[in-house]
A and B are shown apart, each in its own frame.
Chain A
Amino acid sequence: MSDSGGGGQAPADLPLWAETRDAPEPDSGGGSGFRLIGKPQRKVDGLAKATGKAAYTDDISLPGMLHGKILRSPHPHARILSIDASRALALEGVHAVITGRDMPVRYGIIPWTPDEYPLCVERVRYIGDGVAAVAAVDEDTAIRALSRIRVDYQELPACLDPEEALAADGSEERPFIHEPRREGRNGNVTKRVELSFGKVDGRMAGAEVVVEGEYFFEGTTHTPIEPHCAIGRYDENGRLTVWSATQVPHYLHRELASVLGLDPATIRVVQPPVGGAFGGKSEPFDLEFCVARLAMVTGRPVKILYTREEVFYAHRGRHPFHMKYRTGADDEGRLQAVDAEVVLDGGAYASFGLVTTYYAGQLLTAPYAMPAYRFDSTRVYTNKPACGPKRGHGSVQPRFAFEVQLDKLAERLGMDPIELRRVNFMGSDTRTVNELRVTSNGFLECLDAVEKASGWRERFRRLPRGRGLGVAGSCYISGTNYPVYPNEMPQSAIQLQVDRSGRVAVLSGASEIGQGCDSMVAYITAEELGVPLEYVRVLAGDTDFTPVDLGAYSSRITFMLGNACIDAARKLRRKVQEAVAGDWECRPGEVQLAGGWAYYAPDTERRMPIAQAFNLAEARFGTLGATGWYNTPRDNHGDYRGGTIGASPAYSFTAHVAEVEVDVETGVVDVARIWVAHDCGRALNPVLVEGQMEGSVYMGFAEALMEEHIFKTASQGRAGLHNAPSLLDYRIPTSLDTPEIESLIVESIDPEGPYGAKEAGEGPLHSSIPAIANAIYDATGVRMDRLPFSPPNVWKAIRDAGGPRSLKPPRRRAAAPGESAHAGAATAGVG
């Protein structure tokens, strides 16, 4: 780059955000009243990541550090008879070997279902289950040591199929994978939920049209590009530090204390930048316990880095779902009743499964009004890696089935499927049939946006054979109303600290995993305190120094941490305003902080640098700092058992239109383009919101067309062996595979969100998949009710249907945008 600067970009020899520093007017936000919020900004870690300086966990190396490896079970189900590590310990360079007996304490992310040990104690339950761990001078020596550990197993019958798991009786031939918690129960059932709202049978019987369907959603896995990694250090003061690529430092902190029997005040969890997670790092993993224990045993720091193969076996990804749906509607297309039966293939451990089992039903009840709804959801154990939460936890699978059901309903009624969705819109400021409170709801604007952008009205059912358009909608939570362990404390918190230079430090407990939450709190702090963005420093994810935040899961951070940050910043701002007002002899409300200055609002010629304003406040009130926090409202769900699960302070809404081209001879589906409109409340930084939307669409597309997290059966060679545990064989989309994505932001301005914001990181994934399924139908006249829509599956579906067929345009067209009777969301607009 030449010294003369860089054509339109911020050159590095000028301060970044010079325009905000020197901007003369306090409010130049284009009418919004905001200076930073709502506009593209740099990320606080953007350049560190783009220059290779950001230090991820495996980039950390400590003096004297040892390297660990975990020995894994070669059997899908077996009893451990004995473990002999003497030959491993005798190898030069080996410092320690530990087994399950060294940490015989059960744990689990959900306190009601602790069912795993850091290393297996008596039984292994999937190929890959951890059995022993080694610390050695280097990784090569640790790997050699693993081959010298002798484990005697007694193999047990393995169960890979959920139907078979349900048929187990605890006999020798058909053993339970976990012992039943109560006598007489099937130990293979993690959880069963049956909930019913309204008169389902009566309304179904009275429905004009009933669509029945059976669907299968194949398992998929998160595949972050960074493999899991952790480092443990036990120091001379008896303090344990664990660095880990985790999304949940607080929960990890608690579990480490419980499993290791340590006072939590002696444990520090540090979360370095995380190289992708998507739910795959949202509970403790064996390596975190092992590095801690090995560090305690050896007195040396210990690092464990998973191989890519271990990442595939660690999993905790999308559950395979077997689903049956009945959907009844009147002759205008209005939903009358929905009846669902869902079986979740959970793998070997519970993980978040209790929640997944509820989410499989609870999160389907918006954005459409449904007067009657019933679901019967059962999660079963199988001898495969445990499933857990993947982006859109538990609700992506039912959303696929349900949105295809709606498409079938529209076809039966001769209705435009967008119009069918409009007719069923539930509105804003309402309750769902299962009593979840819904506040802002920009779903209709989302439908309008994708309809217009995709040229839907001219093109749906009118494209040449083999090409098609499909639509789908969805909703998702902006955080869960309750933490995974019951408590009344805040879900999220921020501490601010101010230096005499004007520099503001933000201490955030939240987990930056690429979604941009460190940047978000910097934007909010700069906005509220009137400092330039480059004056803000963010220290995050260190349990010794940052306040508790529950973690990066359930799309909770923008909503909760954002509100906590506003709370803290406004407390501090009031002090500064008061101190400056004292100096100027005016009212505190007349002092505005913006762009590096304190202004006298009635006459903005009068101003002082922000550092001077802070100094006045420090002189008056003492050292400047503030804490802010957020907790959820308590009156936003039903009081039935399970009514709290699915409750969220706000819901985001999404609509997709996908355009596909299907080669009916080969079954190859090309997704040409996806239009996605997402109601994120308010886009705090539209570039980051679009990034979340595009990443979500990509991941949904990937699940729709390519990804299969599957295991071999006995007849395929070896039961329980991962079919493709590499990034070559488990295909994720390259730049050449990924469709063009057009993001359309819809802002409904949520009454309780930070500046009106809601989530954007998970919701936009959901409707990708059914939109593609519905587009394949438009292209071929053939329904895809099983995922993935891979060439063999599509080819077979076309063959089974007797070949492709042409479809007629709907008899009832969609109303033009603006014509339909929109309820609510009057402030929403398409940005």
Chain B
Amino acid sequence: MAKATTYIVHLRVNGDDYAPGVPSHYTLLETLRYVIGLTGSKQGCDKGDCGACTVILDGEPHLSCITPVLEAEGREIRTVEGLAGAGRPHPVQDAFDLNGAAQCGFCTPGILCSAVALLERNDSPSRTEIREALAGNLCRCTGYTKIYDAVESAAAVLRTETGRVETGE
């Protein structure tokens, strides 16, 4: 049986450029996890059902486990590893810790990407809007309640920070 064809793909992940050789049938998730070594994005089902593999593609949450890697070429890819600033967590990551929103933590990277994508287009989401934004991410531990608390408190932090920047000018 013939081996799969291998391609060089050009990917921009969290601001870094990569050009790995990958089998042509690889998904973006497989490439991130098993080729580039960014294992933060998780594989829970491999069928686009659970959302643990969610990354941010050009500002929109995307299921990397059903995204052929070739489709991600030339796009801005952000994963959970790219959300934090230098030496400090993103306010949503910090809020997840403070609010107990990550129990086993396996769905967390995908949920964080969905949440960050939401907060970047809406800095004051209602609980309904948060529920809807996270409807593609299955969490089996928390019952979602603490996750909503975390997203709401992170939104408040982000609004405060934005306010401070404006005042400073």
Contacts and interface: CB of A to CB of B under 8 A. Distances in A.
A31 to B, nearest CB: 24
B142 A691 contact: yes
A778 interface: no
A137 to B, nearest CB: 10
A694 B146 contact: yes
B97 A226 contact: no
Contacts of A6: 91, 94, 157, 160-161
Interface string B25-46: 0000000011001111111111
B121 interface: no
Contacts of B96: 46, 49-50
A673 B139 CA distance: 19
A47 B109 CA distance: 11
B31 to A, nearest CB: 14
Interface centre among A2, A11, A227, A734 (most CB of B within 10 A): A734
Interface in B84-135: 84-85, 87-100, 102-109, 112, 130-132, 134-135
B145 A278 contact: no
Contacts of A225: 42, 44, 50, 52, 104, 106-107, 138-140
A735 B144 contact: yes
Interface in A19-58: 40, 42-43, 45-56, 58
A58 B136 CA distance: 23
Interface stretch (A158-166, A174-182, A190-198, A512-520): A512-520
A51 B143 contact: no
Contact of B105 (A2, A50, A227, A698): A50
Contacts, number: 222
Contact of B91 (A1, A45, A275): A1
A47 B94 contact: yes
A140 interface: yes
Contacts of B8: none
Contact of B97 (A11, A47, A58, A274): A47
A727 interface: yes
Contacts of B142: 691, 694-695, 698
B144 A738 contact: yes
Nearest to A42: B97
B87 A43 contact: no
B73 interface: no
A59 interface: yes
A45 B105 contact: yes
Contact of A226 (B42, B93, B94, B112): B42
The A interface, classified by DSSP as helix, strand, loop or mixed, is loop
Contacts of A91: 1
Contacts of A732: 138, 140
B106 A224 contact: yes
A52 B41 contact: yes
Interface string A675-704: 000000000010110110011111100000
A61 B164 CA distance: 44
A222 B131 CA distance: 23
A308 interface: yes
Contacts of A278: 140
Interface in B130-169: 130-132, 134-148, 153, 156-157, 160-161, 164-165
A320 interface: no
Contacts of A236: none
A50 B112 contact: yes
Contacts of B99: 687
A138 to B, nearest CB: 9
A46 B97 contact: yes
Interface in B1-29: 1, 4, 23
Contacts of A734: 134-138
Interface string A507-534: 0000001111000000000000000000
B146 A274 contact: no
B64 interface: no
B81 interface: yes
A9 interface: yes
A800 interface: no
B49 interface: yes
8 contacts: A47-B94, A52-B39, A225-B106, A227-B44, A276-B103, A516-B100, A694-B146, A735-B139
The 10 closest A-B pairs by CB, nearest first: A52-B40, A275-B106, A514-B104, A49-B105, A698-B143, A46-B97, A12-B88, A52-B80, A727-B49, A694-B143
Interface of A: 1-2, 4, 6-13, 40, 42-43, 45-56, 58-59, 61, 91, 140, 144, 222-227, 273-278, 305, 307-308, 513-516, 685, 687-688, 690-691, 694-699, 726-728, 732, 734-736, 738, 740-741, 743
Interface of B: 1, 4, 23, 33-34, 37-47, 49-50, 52, 79-81, 83-85, 87-100, 102-109, 112, 130-132, 134-148, 153, 156-157, 160-161, 164-165
